[in-house]
Structure 1
Amino acid sequence: MIIFIGLFGFVINNLIFNASGANILGLMGVSSPSHHIWNSVLMHRLADLGHNVTVLSVDLPRPNEKLPPNLHYIHLENGYSVTGVTSYIGMGVFEFIPIYYGRKLAAMEVILQSKGMQQLLNYPDSFKFDVILYDYIIGPYLLGFVHKFNYPPLIGMSAFHNPPITMDLMSNHYFPAYIPYHSTTYSPVMDFWQRLENTLIFMADTAYRRMVFVPRVDDLVRPYFSSNMSYLGDISKHTAIALVNSHPAINFVEPLPPNVIEVGGMQMLEPKPLPKDLEEFLNKSKDGAIFISFGTNMKSQDFTVEQVDVIVNAMAELPQYNFMWKFDVKYLKRSLPENVLAKTNFPQTDVLAHPKLKAFVTHCGGLSSQEAMWRGVPMVGVPLFFDQHRNLRQSMDAGIAVKLDFLTMTTEDLVQAIKKVIEDPQMRQKIKEKSNQFQNRPMKPLETAVWWVEYILQNPNPYHLKSHAERLNIFQANSLDCILFILAVGVSIISFVVIVVVFVWRKISNILRPAKVKTN
């Protein structure tokens, strides 16, 4: 009888569960663990709230991660077949643009052949998804599923701040006069030549993306879907809202339309207790601990022997601190000092929340910078590529970080930089202020993101949030045609006045000029 009641309760709960939850599809085709970290926080939270969530993803949850039963992953198993991201180190911005998009196309070609891709393609076209969320940083290559499943509401997500590609979807403006391109080192206060270069970079990126990259993506993807599918660039414009990983406290302030929602720091959850070995290692440190991580894209095997020696020697010269270093020890050719714990993975946000942690040596990736600011930990920034240089510039302008060059730093440079961020009282005060600015908001970023997803479920066509700029081309949207017309009219008027003045002056001069008297 008890067993029957239990089974009956289980069935009723599932019926209620499935009746109240929406069917949500996540298209997460970006080959980046940090993007997976950010995106999965929202996917998992939506599942916790009772929605049925299917995620097509190049990444899977960790093996020991507890998942709700209504969360289902379909693996794009070829997601990391195309590598070489470390070659971007030291690359010029204009050189970077075509190489970056070219590698993304190569990755897409492999990912599209994944078994996971075929698995979702095998779903019946009539299968009903109530909303689709997708990571749009590398373009619309998975948006054929929007067409396949009859155009449910579409929500864009970007762990990469508010990237320029957002304006392709939302028709928002970009402002190169005071928003530096993500791989430059400029601040918002630029001189004329910096603004000119920044504008040219934005123009080059936008032109290449729209005129070369997206058409090639469309050609690549079209064979996998029906022949009457719309152009992928047009499908991307169905995006109702974009959830972007930015916030005024940590990013450059820019005007945004109401359908571009800032949820910067969405990955920040309440810190969990650390594993016993980490807790003991942190607590036994004499003057505190330091965490060193160069992110998920920089692999241990990518470091040279000389670069490893610089880091290890610096840690040895600071025995009063315990160091946690994200590094695979099988690539070490020397022993480590006793004050160093090296592992391939650390629970980074929880480590940064520990009261014994004094500094963070970081590559200044977007998530790492946010997590350090949220937890109130000053940084030694060693940027490598992409947005990391700009992230560090923002932190330095805020007085919460110092900079080292990855290719030229010495052991002494690293030792002095660590001492600087730990011992400078002004830096400690400024990082506390920055943490408060970042956290102090009406709703937590994850709650904000969930609210907007559920809003779109209830209001699938929020046309009132869309900017009318989507009807205009770039010249019209920025009034460049009007400015050119005004300048042309002004030049014409000035030219006419000058011509009239010159004509009148000549006439008057001829009249007033004394007549020549002829002499024999």
Structure 2
Amino acid sequence: MCSFGKYSIAAVVLLFSVPVICQNILFLQTTPSKSHHIWNKQIFDRLYENGYNLTILSYEEEHSIPGKTFFYVANFYDKIMALYQNNGGSDADSEMTPIQNIINMYDFYEKASGILITEKAITQLLDYPRSFKFELIIHDFTMGQFLLGFVERFGNPPLVSISAFNAPSYTAWLADIPTRVTTMPNYASNFGPNMTFLERCWNLFYWTLDYFYRQWIFMSNEDGRVRELFGMNSSSTTQLEKKSEIVLVNMDFSMDYHQSLPPNVIPVGGLHISRQEQLSPDLEEFLDRPSKAVILFSLGTNVKSEGLGLDINRAILDAFVSLPEYNFIWKHGDPVSLGSLPANVFVRSWIPQGKILSSGKVRLLISHGGLLSLQEAVWYGAPVVGIPFFADQYQNVDKLVRAGVALRLPLPHLNRNSLTEVIQAILQNDRYHENMLQRSKWFKNQPEMPLDRAIYSIEKVIQCKGSLHLQSPTNGMTPVQAYGIDLLVGAFITLALVRKLVRHLLSSVNKLS
């Protein structure tokens, strides 16, 4: 009994000697995507483990526990898609042009904000007393900029902006990233960094369209929502997003084009890769089958194989049957619709993709080109066949094609023969695998894991109470001032006046002589 009591007292002393942080963080997720939630979840789960209290706006259902409170927006993505269906839908068999891609992206953001502002979860957050103290607000700046009104509502705590969407083009405007349109392709284009004169002209147009469509149309509408929720005297969304102390972006130079980043923009590409996943016994048994390489077919969380239609699904399955020397794992939401499956095909509605890739048995990933999937493929050294559908997926795939680790199969050309040919083209050429292994080494060669870097940066903002002094001095300047256009105009006017004065003096001298 005495021994037990001694150890009990020691345990209690140890428990109370552990520092308890108990600082409050408001985590505003904005993107209704399971993959984005997975990425964000790595951050807020680690912060919770480190002792912070989190209030989280979420589009994936999770149970609240002490220290982690979720405000759940149910069926949000389905509500947005219903608006598209009511407006006639879209042509899923054709690829978007860059102009369509840019406009469609902000149209999606606009529809999402129009729905989100009416959701109960927003009302619940508004019911928090204004005096409630948050030490930090984390905002997924991919979309939902009107939510930045909560920064002022809660007394302007430090703001951290994050995005799983690579480094969105508009990161340049909220964090003052110098963007050379002559070498940095807009995400909607299929250009590489070495552009021809005509491509540079088009790239300038895409960046200009992107800027004006966001700042003058989308952000203006977001300003209206801020005033509706938080009052007519609220700051604009453009002003609010520039309060970001640091910006965490899902990029890494082993995959992405060269871009100069200021000190407040921190690349944390691949932070989701360290997450824990489990294999089901039947999937583990399938992976362990001897003497056959594995090919993984997964279109991510937003694109669904069953949505491609029975004809394309049958063509995909026929391609798998025609390659009996390989085993195929297929993420498909309606396995029953496929009928009886051949012995070399394993189908499930959800698969732990990262865990499967980490097994080292996957020789090829067939993907929609989502960034998180491609980062996992590069990390684990699996070449890629990319079938992009929208947004950044085109450029994500194109980057890997240019790196010699992937091939692109356009969606309109997807059939049994084309899929079979592109699979064989990669697996019968060792160059793709060797190039990907080299990329994998570059990606992994970091001083710390990306998630550790993200958490360190966030906690630094909290510790310093936002006084990191990393924000750009041009935040309060107009683009005309920041890029010295006013100086050029002033210099031009000055030279014109000097030239006119010299001419006048010469004319006067000539008259006197």
Q: TM-score, normalised by structure 2?
A: 0.89
Alignment correspondent of 2:377: 372
Give the Cα separation in 1 of the matches to 2:280 and 2:74.
30
1:300 Cα offset (Å): 3.6
Contact 2:139 2:160 in 1 (8 A): yes
Alignment correspondent of 1:476: 481
1:344 Cα offset (Å): 1.2
Give the Cα separation in 1 of the matches to 2:287 and 2:316.
19
How do 1:81-480 and structure 2 match up within 5 A? Answer: 81-83=79-81, 84=84, 90-269=95-274, 272-284=277-289, 286-329=291-334, 332=337, 334-462=339-467, 464-480=469-485
Task: Kindly provide the amino acid, as one letter, of the partner of residue 267 in structure 2.
Answer: E
With over 3 angstroms needed to count, the CA separation of the structure-2 counterparts of 1:335 and 1:229, relative to structure 1, is: same
1:358 Cα offset (Å): 1.1
Once the two structures are overlaid, the 10-residue window that deviates more, 87-96 or 352-361, is: 87-96
2:73 pairs with 1:76? yes
With over 3 angstroms needed to count, the CA separation of the structure-2 counterparts of 1:436 and 1:147, relative to structure 1, is: same
| Deviation per residue, 1:219-247 (Å, 9 max, x gap) | 12422224432222212221111000011
Once the two structures are overlaid, the 10-residue window that deviates more, 146-155 or 269-278, is: 269-278
Contact 1:181 1:201 in 2 (8 A): yes
Which runs of at least 4 in structure 1 moved beyond 6 Å after TM superposition?
1-18, 487-498
Give the Cα separation in 2 of the matches to 1:22 and 1:316.
56
Give the Cα separation in 1 of the matches to 2:263 and 2:377.
28
List gaps (5 residues or longer) in structure 1: 504-520
Structure 2 SS opposite 1:267: helix
1:31 Cα offset (Å): 1.3
1:428 Cα offset (Å): 1.4
Contact 1:285 1:320 in 2 (8 A): no
Pairwise CA RMSD of aligned residues? 3.1
Contact 2:22 2:53 in 1 (8 A): yes
With over 3 angstroms needed to count, the CA separation of the structure-2 counterparts of 1:97 and 1:14, relative to structure 1, is: farther
Alignment correspondent of 1:44: 45
Contact 1:183 1:386 in 2 (8 A): yes
With over 3 angstroms needed to count, the CA separation of the structure-2 counterparts of 1:395 and 1:490, relative to structure 1, is: farther
Give the Cα separation in 1 of the matches to 2:125 and 2:499.
65
Contact 1:48 1:68 in 2 (8 A): no
1:475 Cα offset (Å): 2.9
1:312 Cα offset (Å): 0.6
Give the Cα separation in 1 of the matches to 2:118 and 2:19.
32
Give the Cα separation in 2 of the matches to 1:169 and 1:295.
29
1:425 Cα offset (Å): 1.6
Alignment correspondent of 1:512: none
Larger radius of gyration between Structure 1 and Structure 2:
1
Contact 1:381 1:402 in 2 (8 A): yes
Alignment correspondent of 1:34: 35
Give the Cα separation in 2 of the matches to 1:455 and 1:8.
35
Structure 1 SS opposite 2:76: coil
1:290 Cα offset (Å): 0.7
Give the Cα separation in 2 of the matches to 1:116 and 1:439.
39
With over 3 angstroms needed to count, the CA separation of the structure-2 counterparts of 1:465 and 1:336, relative to structure 1, is: same
List gaps (5 residues or longer) in structure 2: 508-513
With over 3 angstroms needed to count, the CA separation of the structure-2 counterparts of 1:279 and 1:19, relative to structure 1, is: closer
With over 3 angstroms needed to count, the CA separation of the structure-2 counterparts of 1:377 and 1:305, relative to structure 1, is: same
Give the Cα separation in 2 of the matches to 1:86 and 1:26.
33
Contact 1:26 1:55 in 2 (8 A): yes
Give the Cα separation in 1 of the matches to 2:357 and 2:207.
35
Structure 2 SS opposite 1:290: strand
Give the Cα separation in 1 of the matches to 2:413 and 2:501.
61
Once the two structures are overlaid, the 10-residue window that deviates more, 391-400 or 460-469, is: 460-469
Alignment correspondent of 2:22: 21
1:167 Cα offset (Å): 2.4
Give the Cα separation in 2 of the matches to 1:387 and 1:307.
23
Task: Kindly provide the amino acid, as one letter, of the partner of residue 38 in structure 1.
Answer: W
Alignment correspondent of 1:513: none
Task: Kindly provide the amino acid, as one letter, of the partner of residue 466 in structure 1.
Answer: Q
Structure 1 SS opposite 2:469: helix
Q: TM-score, normalised by structure 1?
A: 0.87
| Deviation per residue, 1:442-492 (Å, 9 max, x gap) | 111000001001100111233531222223322332334445566777899
Contact 1:18 1:52 in 2 (8 A): no
| Deviation per residue, 1:378-415 (Å, 9 max, x gap) | 11111111111111111011111111111112312211
1:133 Cα offset (Å): 0.5
Task: Kindly provide the amino acid, as one letter, of the partner of residue 21 in structure 1.
Answer: C
Give the Cα separation in 2 of the matches to 1:229 and 1:484.
34
Give the share of equivalent positions with the same residue, in percent: 32
Contact 2:42 2:275 in 1 (8 A): no
1:47 Cα offset (Å): 0.7
With over 3 angstroms needed to count, the CA separation of the structure-2 counterparts of 1:53 and 1:17, relative to structure 1, is: farther
1:437 Cα offset (Å): 0.4
1:52 Cα offset (Å): 1.3
With over 3 angstroms needed to count, the CA separation of the structure-2 counterparts of 1:412 and 1:223, relative to structure 1, is: same
With over 3 angstroms needed to count, the CA separation of the structure-2 counterparts of 1:9 and 1:275, relative to structure 1, is: farther
